């Protein structure tokens, strides 16, 4: 006895089957036929580019030739209607109702093998998605910083309050970009013996620092703390007086990016200053666009 669904291999089709045992003189598809169409044929039609379906209808030799021709066509139509019901629209390239022309046996043969429809699904495999290039890191992990100029002010005779206004050049070493950052903050200072009011610093040397993740220059924009070590500077001569910068921008915090060193020690340039010790809190702002470095930084 023929199977209700018999897979067909060895053809160029993606999937093919002979749906047999359709009731005699009828075109009603069996549950097994519908299941195969729903689970094997239709999903493949959906996932292929420009798919099409070929349908070949058959009939057993029992009965009138013309009737068998008609019933094989109706069996093809039954398959088409079911697929259209599921997909809405589909491309049927071949619909060939062969009637009993290829059926074997005598005039009374009613073998279920011949009461059948062959269904073939064709289509093209979608190309593999093109791998997108990995986006290059938007920043760098190697930076350096130097003071371009800075002024600290602490009122004479009033020991305690201090204001800092410093300008730093921060260099993205990897991408060879640099930008100016300004720090403005207020805090406290230990009194000094010289009531100089202003402590001044010119352009100093670079200090290298790294970040645990790639960051752009604008990532450093945000709150910061600024510390002044004890020291004295008169012109180019200097003893002590390092400044230390702790960057606490929201971007760095949200990226969980750590700086090494966490508090960056920076030497000042030529200037005039007498500092006992100071600590201020303020904002480290990116004041200019990051521009390419021309020549050696």
Interacting residues with other proteins (CB under 8 A): 148-151, 153, 156, 163, 165-167, 169, 175-177, 179-180, 182-184, 194-203, 216-218, 221, 269-272, 283, 285-293
* Cα(215)–Cα(18) distance, integer angstroms: 63
CB of 84 to other proteins, least distance (A): 51
CB of 184 to other proteins, least distance (A): 4
Nearer to other proteins, 87 or 151 (CB): 151
CB of 262 to other proteins, least distance (A): 23
Q: Which residues contact 173 (CB under 8 A, 6 or more apart)?
A: 140, 142, 143, 144, 208, 297
**Cα angle vertex 270, ends 265, 276, to 5°?**
55
CB of 198 to other proteins, least distance (A): 4
Where does residue 291 fall: left (phi above 0), alpha (psi -120 to 50 degrees), or beta otherwise? beta
Nearer to other proteins, 84 or 213 (CB): 213
3-class state of residue 272 by DSSP: strand
Q: Which helix (H) or strand (E) holds 197?
A: none
Nearer to other proteins, 37 or 170 (CB): 170
Nearer to other proteins, 124 or 197 (CB): 197
Count of CA atoms in the C-beta half-sphere (13 A) of 129? 3
CB of 36 to other proteins, least distance (A): 55
CB of 134 to other proteins, least distance (A): 17
3-class state of residue 68 by DSSP: helix
Tokens of 135: 């986006």
Nearer to other proteins, 10 or 292 (CB): 292
- Sign of the torsion formed by the C-alpha atoms of 223, 229, 233 and 236: negative
Measured distance between the N- and C-terminal CA atoms of the chain, rounded to whole angstroms: 88
Nearer to other proteins, 84 or 176 (CB): 176
């Amino acid at each position: 006895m023929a199977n209700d669904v018999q897979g067909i291999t060895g053809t160029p089709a993606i999937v093919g089957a002979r749906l047999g045992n359709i009731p005699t003189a009828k075109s009603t598809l069996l549950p097994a036929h519908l299941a195969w169409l729903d689970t094997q044929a239709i999903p493949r039609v959906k996932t292929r580019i420009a798919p099409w379906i070929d349908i070949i209808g058959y009939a057993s030799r029992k009965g009138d030739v013309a009737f068998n021709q008609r019933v094989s066509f109706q069996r093809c139509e039954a398959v088409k209607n079911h697929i259209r019901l599921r997909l809405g629209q589909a491309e049927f390239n071949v619909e060939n109702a062969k009637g009993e022309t290829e059926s074997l046996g005598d005039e009374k043969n009613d073998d279920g093998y011949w009461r059948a429809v062959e269904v073939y699904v064709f289509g093209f495999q979608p190309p593999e998605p093109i791998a997108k290039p990995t986006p290059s890191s938007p920043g760098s992990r190697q930076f350096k910083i130097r003071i371009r100029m800075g002024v600290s002010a602490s009122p004479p005779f009033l020991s305690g309050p201090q204001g800092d206004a410093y300008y730093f050049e921060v260099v993205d070493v990897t991408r060879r970009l640099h930008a100016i950052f300004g720090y403005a903050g207020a805090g406290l200072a230990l009194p000094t013996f010289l009531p100089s009011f202003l402590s001044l610093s010119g352009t100093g040397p670079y200090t290298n620092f790294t970040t645990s993740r790639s960051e752009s220059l604008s990532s450093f924009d945000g709150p910061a703390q600024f510390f002044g070590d004890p020291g004295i500077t008169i012109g180019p001569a200097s003893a002590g007086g390092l400044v230390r910068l702790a960057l606490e921008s929201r971007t760095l915090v949200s990226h969980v990016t750590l700086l090494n060193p966490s508090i960056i020690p920076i030497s000042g340039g030529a200037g005039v200053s007498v500092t006992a010790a100071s600590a201020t809190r303020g904002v480290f702002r990116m004041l200019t666009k990051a521009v390419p470095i021309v020549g050696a930084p």
